């Protein structure tokens, strides 16, 4: 039987959703002056992103030398040939930025970063106590409130259902995420698909809000205070549910259709099929206004890859690939490239579909920024000296970066910038005047090099 106690422990609320109160308390708050929010999509990939494999192919001799020696320079992308895995985005070069030279030494590296790449702290192998601050995605979600505040999607470890995520709505608090397209669709559009279930959730929330619910949860000791803090957000969640039901008619037109292969977690769906379906749900949630910030872990070292072009009959392991193990006679480097190509197909789909939706004097894409980056640095066993970003940003992006290949000074050199500087830039440009986001880099501190604040040349 699905008891109240089981509900608390196994539902999204038991996975930390009740700690989302800061975002929920701003439900349906006013957006920008023109009524149009900014949107941010973070796409995390595993096993590193090699800076050399991310560089264009036809630099001038001077720029090639600067790039290989990791010295600062900029070049126009419209004059450059993108590497094979990025060519699916050729049509969007004017909105693309390849950002090289950011370091992430303050984040966890090697195989996994867990929450740390989004929060600029050491994650101590994913321990809850190590989550030092609200992650960057949740900070941005506060600036552009929405019914769900923030949505996290993940294909990590081949999980399904609602599971623990990597983002953090508050210190020592782990987010939850949707781990398959069918679950994401069912939960985000529950008020359309099953409004009676939403009302049932509200009844359960009322129970949990009382002392009886606290007692039934079986939580004791120091965890009681944490639970009390989480339950403070119940009213906000109920308010969200009620409002979603009232607008369910208008939400229905955005409801994505999924192939039956995705039912029950989509265990029979190939990886490209799963990616395409999750992308459809992501786009639908943005178009419906359910969220303005999405974090998408598109794979991790435990994600089984099936149906990949060139390896259609193989079950590819990303971890063995990182150690140059071939699958189906295909060299590891080629399969890794094909995985990135499949990722870029999803990025291209997001850009194309958002460009097709009118908004204000332009399109939805004009107010959207997509960031694709490695969770663990520059290689399979990342050390965090470099963390390349591929960015697609619309015309109303608040940063001056579009259409360029930008290499910043390498770690330890004057003018070097860290992941914390990048996240500070995002926050400062969109209304949060924080002096610096994230932990500082110890090597730069030893050299007494400046390392706080936004990247000034990026500010529009």
Return per-residue pLDDT of the chain as tens, 460 residues.
334 444 444 344 444 443 443 333 344 444 455 789 999 999 999 999 999 999 999 999 999 999 999 999 999 999 999 999 999 999 999 999 999 999 999 999 999 999 999 999 999 989 999 999 999 999 999 999 999 999 999 999 889 999 999 999 999 999 999 999 999 999 999 999 998 888 777 666 666 656 545 554 555 555 655 565 555 567 777 788 888 988 899 999 999 999 999 999 999 999 999 999 999 999 999 999 999 999 999 999 999 999 999 999 999 999 999 999 999 999 999 999 999 999 999 999 999 999 999 999 999 999 999 999 999 999 999 999 999 999 999 999 999 999 999 999 999 999 999 999 999 999 999 999 999 999 999 989 999 999 999 999 999 8
237 within a domain of the structure (yes/no): no
215 within a domain of the structure (yes/no): no
176 within a domain of the structure (yes/no): yes
Q: State the DSSP H helix or E strand holding residue 120, giving kind and residue range, or none if neither.
A: none
Q: State the DSSP H helix or E strand holding residue 356, giving kind and residue range, or none if neither.
A: none
Q: Which two tokens stand for residue 358?
A: 């009118």
Residue 104 near residue 391, CB atoms below 8 Å: no
Q: pTM for this one?
A: 0.91
206 within a domain of the structure (yes/no): no
Please return the burial class of 16, using the count of CB atoms within 10 Å of its CB with bins 0-12, 13-18 and 19+.
buried
The position carrying tokens 């004009």 is: 366
CA gap 140, 292 in Å, rounded? 9
Query: Which residues sit opposite 153 in a β-bridge?
Result: 178, 296
Q: Residue 7 region, left (φ>0) first, then alpha (ψ -120 to 50), else beta?
A: alpha
- If one counts every other C-beta atom within 10 angstroms of the C-beta of residue 267, the result is 11
CA gap 293, 427 in Å, rounded? 13
399 within a domain of the structure (yes/no): yes
* DSSP per position, 93-115: GGGEEEEE--B-TTS--BT--TT
Range of the domain at 56: 28-187+271-458
286 within a domain of the structure (yes/no): yes
Pairing of strands 162-164, 73-76: unpaired
Number of domains in the chain: 1
265 within a domain of the structure (yes/no): no
Q: What is the CATH number of the domain that holds 419?
A: 3.40.720
Q: Which two tokens stand for residue 413?
A: 């050199």
381 within a domain of the structure (yes/no): yes
């Amino acid at each position: 039987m699905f008891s109240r106690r089981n509900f608390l422990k196994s539902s999204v609320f038991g996975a930390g959703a009740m700690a989302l109160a800061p975002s929920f308390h701003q439900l349906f708050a006013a957006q920008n002056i023109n009524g149009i929010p900014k949107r941010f999509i973070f796409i995390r990939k595993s096993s590193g992103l090699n800076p050399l494999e991310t560089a264009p192919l036809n630099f001038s001799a001077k720029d090639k030398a600067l790039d290989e020696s990791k010295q600062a320079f900029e070049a126009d992308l419209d004059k450059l040939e993108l590497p094979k895995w990025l060519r699916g985005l050729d049509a969007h070069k004017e909105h693309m930025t390849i950002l090289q030279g950011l370091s992430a030494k303050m984040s966890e590296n090697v195989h996994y970063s867990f929450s740390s790449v989004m929060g600029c702290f050491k994650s101590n192998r994913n321990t809850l106590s190590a989550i030092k601050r609200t992650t960057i995605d949740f900070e941005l979600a506060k600036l552009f409130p929405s019914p769900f505040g923030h949505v996290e999607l993940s294909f990590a470890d081949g999980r399904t259902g609602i599971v623990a995520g990597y983002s953090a709505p508050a210190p020592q608090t782990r987010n939850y995420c949707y781990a398959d397209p069918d679950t994401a669709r069912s939960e985000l559009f529950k008020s359309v698909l099953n409004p009676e279930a939403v009302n049932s959730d509200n009844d359960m929330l009322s129970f949990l809000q009382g002392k009886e619910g606290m007692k039934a949860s079986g939580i004791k000791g120091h965890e009681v205070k944490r639970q009390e803090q989480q339950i403070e957000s119940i009213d906000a969640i109920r308010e969200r549910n009620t409002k979603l039901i009232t607008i369910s008619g208008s939400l229905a037109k955005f409801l994505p259709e999924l192939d039956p292969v995705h039912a029950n977690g989509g265990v029979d769906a190939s990886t490209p099929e799963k990616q395409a379906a999750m992308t459809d749900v992501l786009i639908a949630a943005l178009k419906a206004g359910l969220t303005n910030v999405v974090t998408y872990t598109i794979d991790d070292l435990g994600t089984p890859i099936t149906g990949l072009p060139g390896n259609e009959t193989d079950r590819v392991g990303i971890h063995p690939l990182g150690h140059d193990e071939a699958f189906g006679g295909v060299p590891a480097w080629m399969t890794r490239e094909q995985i990135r190509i499949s990722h870029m197909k999803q990025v291209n789909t997001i850009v194309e579909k958002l460009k097709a939706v009118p908004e204000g004097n332009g399109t939805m894409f004009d107010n959207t920024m997509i960031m694709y980056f490695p969770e663990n640095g520059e290689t399979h066993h990342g050390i965090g000296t470099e963390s390349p970003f591929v960015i697609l940003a619309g015309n109303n992006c608040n940063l001056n970066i579009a259409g360029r290949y930008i290499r910043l000074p390498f770690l330890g050199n004057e003018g070097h910038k860290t992941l914390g500087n990048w996240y500070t830039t995002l926050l400062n440009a969109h209304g949060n005047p924080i002096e610096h986001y994230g932990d500082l880099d110890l090597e730069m501190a030893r050299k007494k090099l400046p390392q706080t604040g936004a990247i000034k040349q990026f500010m529009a």
